[in-house]
Every structure is written in structure tokens, then in C-alpha cells.
Amino acid sequence: IICVEVPKLKLNNGKLMPAIALGTYLGFDQGGVVKSVNKQLANVVMNAIDIGYRHFDTAAIYETEEEIGEGIRKKIEEGAINRDDIFVTTKLWNTQHKREQVPLALKQSLNKMGLNYVDLYLMHWPIGLNDDYTFSDVDFMETWRGLEDVQTMGLTKSIGVSNFNLDQLKILIKDASIKPVAIQVEVHPQMIQSEIIEYAKSEDMVVMGYSPFGSLVMRYGMQFPGPKIDEPVLVEIARKYNKTTPQVVLRWQIDRNVVPLPKSTNLKRLKENIDIFDFKLEQHEIEIINKFHNNVRYTLPSFWQTHPYYPFEKIDNPQANPFLNKRKE
């Protein structure tokens, strides 16, 4: 493949979102955030643009904004693209949930990226935290007013949320002056999110699916139970279309109107992951993949589960809070 032409979805405010985004969360290790080595990520972004990626998903907490901005700016300087060919999504971190903090937070992100607007600004979690990572009592509706402010100010073209559950999303939509264009949640064969997808469709919102490969790939350096890259059910579908199983799983998301956010820093896999727009799954194949659903989440910050706005099901033995540990060091 040379350069894939990625289709675009129309958002409820008339703007267009490319149907797949490059995920750019490089992970945390015990000492904190894993940083990109030797500007690797800026080069990945430039390669990604060459092969057709037009949408980049980042967040203030990932510490990748600088390099994403650098890659995009270099490609604009080269004349390969214009700013309005690219769709940039970033996210507000939990410690900046007060209404008046939101413009400052987005300006910080824009400064790091060297851009004067983003295309989509998401509230990363409904959970507000103080600077010391203790729970704050800022309501997510107050934070949403801040997101509405930054759209009105022109710092972002669109606004949305991430990691809201269905009830929280309904509360938000009921009170919002500006309706969210998108909700970003975990979507993969073990977490198919049918309810949120259906509700989003009824509200003309886009679902963005994070961790799209689920158990197909290693997570936190480990294999988890669930369909693997050589799962026979997926291999059979992949053979039929002359594709790989990761491509089938990404296409399953496209065919369910989910914008997948596959992360790769490897050129071969970058190409593989975007080469999914020349085939389409049949309904019964979508349903075969849906059957892997077993409610497994790989992002489950149970250390926040006593927060009043924790969005997920509570578990018996919550994890220790890694953010608090980080502070003590």
C-alpha cells in the first residue's frame, strides 16, 4: 500500500472525523510515564501521515503531545498536508476539572503541540482529582462547562467525553449546552459495548474504541485470557478476506460504527492496521466476534472505585493507587 484514503464520519456538529486514529499511549512503568526514546514517536507520526493516518489520539497524561505536534508540524512544513487535513484528539486530565482550569489545561496541551487548536477535546474521566490526587468534589457537569468554554473560545472544534458510563452520559447530554460529538471507551471482542454504541447512535454521537485489539496482544507485558492473534474463529474470517486477525478485529469495529484507535510504533503494523478499507464483514461474522464478549476491561482503575463518579463496576480487592505511590517517591 502507498497511502490509504481513510473515510470520514460526520459529527453531530457537521465536522468530519477520520474513521481510524493512531493511538499514542506508550504506557506507564513503575517510575511513571514511559517516554518516547530519541524522538521515535515524532517519526512514527510522520510515517503514519505518509501512509494515510489523519487522526491522532493523545492525552495530556500520555506525555506524547509534544512529539505528535512535532510530527504533524514537520509534515505541514514539508507541504505534505495542511493543518485541516489532520484531526487531533487530546484529553483533559482529572486534576484540572475546575471550570476555570480547563482553558489553561488545553492551552498547555496546545503549547506542547505547537498548534493553535485541536479538533476534539475529551474529558478523560468523569472523576475529578485534586493536585495531590485525592478525590475532589468537582462535578463533571462543571467540567463540561469548561469544555463548552474552550470550544466557544475556538481552542477546539469539538468536545466529548471518555470513560463515562451510560447513566453518566445521559445526565451529561440532558444538561449540556453543547452536545458531545463523541464518547471514547474500551472496545474489543471481550468488551463489545453494545449499549453505548446503540445509545450513541440514537444521539448522533460517535464511539471511539480504545485498546481495540483486546487480548490479541500483550498488555502490561502479559498475555490475558481471551481470543489470541491465532484464534481459529478469527483466522477463518481473516483467510476468507486475505487479511490478518488484527485487521479483522479493526474492521469489526469499523462495521459497528466504532472509530478504532490502534496503537503501533512499528511501520509494518502501522500499514497493516490502516489497510482495512477494502473489505467489509458480513453481519453473521460481526455476530461471531460479538460472542467473545465477557465484560473484561483492561483499563480498570479500581483504586478510584470509592470516588462518587467512578464509572465502572466495583471489585472486591481494589488495586493500590499508583499515582499516590508515584508521589511518595
Binding mask 129-168 for ligand NDP (x = CB under 6 A): ---------------------------------xx-----
- CB atoms under 10 Å from CB of 165, counted, come to 18
Show the cell assigned to 80.
Answer: 505534505
Binding residue count for ligand NDP, defined by CB under 6 A: 24
Catalytic one among 25, 53, 62, 121?
A: 62
Q: How far is the CB of 221 from ligand NDP (least distance, A)?
A: 10
Question: Which residues, 281 to 320, sit near ligand NDP by CB under 6 A?
Answer: 299
Show the cell assigned to 256.
Answer: 459497528
Residue 79 or residue 225: which is nearer to ligand NDP going by CB?
A: 225
Q: How far is the CB of 18 from ligand NDP (least distance, A)?
A: 14
Read off the amino acid at residue 33.
V
Q: How far is the CB of 79 from ligand NDP (least distance, A)?
A: 28
Question: Which residues, 57 to 76, sit near ligand NDP by CB under 6 A?
Answer: 57
Q: How far is the CB of 198 from ligand NDP (least distance, A)?
A: 20
The residue within the footprint of ligand NDP, chosen from 11, 17, 23, 323 (CB under 6 A), is: 23
Question: Which residues, 257 to 286, sit near ligand NDP by CB under 6 A?
Answer: 261-266, 269, 272-273
* Under rule CB under 6 A, residue 184 binds ligand NDP: yes
Residue of 272, 320, 265 whose CA lies nearest to 34: 265
Q: How far is the CB of 139 from ligand NDP (least distance, A)?
A: 20
Contact 103, 69 (CB under 8 A): no
Contact 272, 282 (CB under 8 A): no
With CB under 6 A as the contact rule, which of the stretches 17-25, 28-36, 283-291, 318-326 interacts with ligand NDP? 17-25
Residue of 231, 198, 228 whose CA lies nearest to 213: 228
Three-state SS string across 303-320, please? HHCCCCCCCCCCCCCCCC
Contact 102, 93 (CB under 8 A): no
The residue with its CB nearest to ligand NDP is 23
Q: How far is the CB of 161 from ligand NDP (least distance, A)?
A: 10
SS percent in the chain: helix, strand, coil, step 5: 40, 15, 45
With CB under 6 A as the contact rule, which of the stretches 12-20, 66-74, 130-138, 255-263 interacts with ligand NDP? 255-263
CB neighbour burial string for 21-34, b if at least 16 within 10 angstroms, e if fewer:
bbbbbbebeeeeee
CB neighbour burial string for 139-162, b if at least 16 within 10 angstroms, e if fewer:
ebeebbbbbbbbbeeebbbbbbbb
DSSP designation for 215 = G
The residue within the footprint of ligand NDP, chosen from 71, 128, 180, 246 (CB under 6 A), is: 246
Sign of CA dihedral 308, 311, 314, 318: negative
62 tagged catalytic:
yes
- CB atoms under 10 Å from CB of 204, counted, come to 12
* Under rule CB under 6 A, residue 223 binds ligand NDP: no
The residue within the footprint of ligand NDP, chosen from 126, 128, 212, 227 (CB under 6 A), is: 212
Residues carrying an active site annotation? 62
Binding site for ligand NDP (CB under 6 A): 23-25, 57, 124, 162-163, 184, 210-213, 217, 246, 261-266, 269, 272-273, 299
